[in-house]
Amino acid sequence: MDPEQGSQAAILVVSDALGETAELVARAAISQFNAGRMEIRRYSLVKDESEIEHIVRAASDGGRSVILYTLVVPELRRAMQLAAARAGVPAVDIMGPALEAVAQVVGRPPKQRAGLMHKLDEDYFRRVEAVEFAVKYDDGRDPRGLLNADLVLVGVSRTSKTPVSLYLAQRRYLRVANVPLVPELPPPEELFRLPPGKVVGLTVHPEKLYQIRQERLKAIGLDAGASYGQLDRIVEELEFAEQVFRRLGCPVVDVSNKAVEETANTVLHYLGAAHTTATD
């Protein structure tokens, strides 16, 4: 039967860890059939055989389901094989053959412990916290968060504040907030209460920013003549930003010809220099 017709077909993704690997395989398989409407149900952290029996019953009740599983615990893998066979539900063991092949090459059995690839160590938690912080305090949201940041980036619109914030969160686990500077809006007072070295300004050549904003207006379908994309408005914003930078006494990075990674490294240089000065 065509998966686009009749009752909705489903792929049940089952794992004794998070199930991300099996879900990626499921989505890759679906893409080969133009089956965007096909449902994916994920069952994570499966720990005992009773859960497997329940999942297989759910698959057999629908009548048009397949199970993809990444179970590293042998007992769970065998339970899935047997239960699926009894119920007549197609089931694909994604992890088992790979484990057996690698075991043959390395000459020893696998650890057979679920979730090792996503072991929740200290670095993992720090990265998650940093990324959540960057998202929560992006683009000036809730200025109260500035006081809890490791670093605050300030600059006019389209100076790479958000990409640099997320890069530093993901790669260096820094809690980075960013604040847009607009002439009509006074910067939040919390910005001026931050200790020296926690703020870095981002700027750009007016002509470069003009090109960037014109492309942005085109991408979102707005009139290229909008004030946001005009050179005189851009110069006004950059001059206002320079005034704020001087009030803050913060270092400034010109992002005109820099990739996000290069800008981030320059920001880190200033941040490190500030910390060194503070501890001397």
Question: pLDDT tens across 62-86, in order?
Answer: 668 999 999 988 899 999 999 999 9
pLDDT at 163: 96
pLDDT at 170: 94
CATH 3.40.50 intervals, the chain: 10-118, 122-279
- 3-class DSSP state for residue 161? helix
Q: What is the CATH number of domain 122-279?
A: 3.40.50
Tell me how many degrees the CA angle 242-244-249 measures, rounded to the nearest 5: 90
First vs last C-alpha separation in the chain: 74
Q: Is the dihedral of CA 158, 160, 161, 167 positive or negative?
A: positive
User: In the predicted model, what is the mean pLDDT of the chain?
Assistant: 88
Residue 6 above 50 pLDDT?
no
Averaged pLDDT, 239-256: 97
pLDDT at 274: 61
Residue 1 above 50 pLDDT?
no
pLDDT tens, 136-178?
999 999 999 999 999 999 999 999 999 999 999 999 999 999 9
Residue 116 above 60 pLDDT?
no
pLDDT at 33: 80
pTM of model > 0.85: no
Q: What's the CA gap between 216 and 79, in Å, rounded?
A: 54
| CATH level 2 (architecture), domain 10-118 | 3-Layer(aba) Sandwich (3.40)
- As given in the structure block, the two tokens for residue 26 are 């499921």
Instruction: Name 174's Cβ contacts closer than 8 Å, sequence gap at least 6.
Output: 130, 150, 151, 168
Bridge partners of 111?
A: none
Name the pLDDT band for 115 (thresholds 50, 70, 90).
low
Q: What's the CA gap between 240 and 237, in Å, rounded?
A: 5
Bridge partners of 14?
A: 43, 69
How many Cβ atoms are within 10 Å of 91's Cβ, its own excluded? 20
